């Protein structure tokens, strides 16, 4: 009995030590990311804000991955390539109960926002599902195609205004998307929004931000004119 008790104490001590080590490593990683984000912000002329949950109210448009709650940290704010931008890590927690115990899960996303020349209809781009574009259209899924299966079967595009959507899908934009492959982004009101699941790492900040600016640069100037797309809808 004594031997069994000693084994239990050793095991529990090991588990506690492991938890402590994981907590310390997590704290060190968070501190490292904060320091790296601070240096990154200073290097490109952006403001670094460690945490401010009011940014969720300011920038959430009600679409994925925003859930109406959560926390914003490692925020980069300012002007980049002549446009107002905001980048941050968005996290929220969900709980599930299996009848015996409650389990909590934290979901984290990197968020990028770039201001548009003016507010626009919702235009979203994602990865087409396993059925492809033709099947989705056949069952009534409202989508915007360009007529090229090699593109339409890869990209799932939706837009609240067909004229605006087709102006956004300029050949230069299509060419860029073919080269990058699918990634989560949308034009929503005053902003272009992109997101990626996982912890927001400093190394990921500028490549996605530059890609978003490159894409906006390829959208024809007349797409931002309200007179046309306010009278032309699906």
Which pLDDT tens digit goes with each residue over 191-210? 999 999 999 999 999 999 99
Provide the pLDDT confidence category of residue 136 given band limits of 50, 70 and 90. very low
Q: b/e string for 166-200 if b means 16 or more Cβ within 10 A?
A: ebbbeeebbeebeeeeeebbbbbeebbbbbbeeeb
Q: 99 pLDDT band (50/70/90 cuts)?
A: confident
- What was the pLDDT predicted at 133? 47
How far, in Å, CA of 15 to CA of 21, rounded? 10
Put simply, whether the predicted model's pTM sits higher than 0.75 gets the answer yes
Find the range with the poorest average confidence among 21-30, 55-64, 124-133, 168-177. Answer: 21-30
Q: Which residues contact 21 (CB under 8 A, 6 or more apart)?
A: none
Q: pLDDT at position 232, please?
A: 53
pLDDT confidence of 36, banded at 50, 70, 90? very high
- Return mean pLDDT, the chain: 86
The DSSP code sequence of the chain is: -HHHHHHHHHHHHHHHHHHHHHHHHHHHHHHHHHHHHHHHHHHHT-EEEEE-THHHHHH--S-TT--S--EEEEEEEEEETTEEEEEEEEEEEEEEE-SS-EEEEEEEEEEEEEEEEEEEEEEEEEE--TTHHHHHHHTT------S-HHHHTTEEEEES-HHHHHHHS-HHHHHHHHHH----EEEEEEEEEEEEES---HHHHHHHHHHHHHHHHHS-GGGG-HHHHTS---
- pLDDT for 139 beyond 70: no
């Amino acid at each position: 009995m004594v031997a069994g008790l000693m084994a239990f104490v050793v095991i529990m001590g090991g588990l506690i030590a492991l938890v402590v080590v994981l907590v310390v490593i997590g704290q060190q990683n968070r501190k490292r990311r904060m320091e790296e984000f601070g240096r990154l912000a200073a290097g490109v002329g952006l403001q670094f804000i460690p945490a401010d949950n009011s940014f969720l109210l300011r920038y959430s448009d009600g679409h994925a991955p925003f859930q109406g709650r959560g926390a914003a940290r490692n925020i980069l704010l300012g002007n980049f390539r002549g446009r107002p931008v905001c980048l941050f890590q968005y996290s929220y927690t969900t709980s599930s109960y299996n009848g015996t115990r409650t389990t909590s899960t934290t979901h984290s996303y990197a968020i990028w926002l770039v201001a548009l020349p003016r507010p626009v209809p919702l235009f979203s781009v994602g990865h087409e599902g396993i059925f492809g574009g033709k099947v989705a259209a056949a069952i009534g899924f409202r989508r915007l195609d360009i007529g090229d299966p090699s593109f339409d079967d890869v990209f799932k595009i939706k837009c609240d205004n067909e004229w605006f959507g087709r102006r956004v899908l300029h050949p230069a934009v299509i060419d860029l998307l073919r080269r990058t492959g699918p990634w989560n982004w949308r034009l929503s009101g005053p902003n272009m929004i992109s997101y990626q699941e996982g912890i927001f790492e400093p190394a990921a900040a500028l490549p996605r931000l530059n890609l978003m600016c490159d894409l906006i640069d390829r959208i024809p100037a007349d797409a931002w004119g309200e007179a046309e797309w306010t009278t032309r809808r699906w």
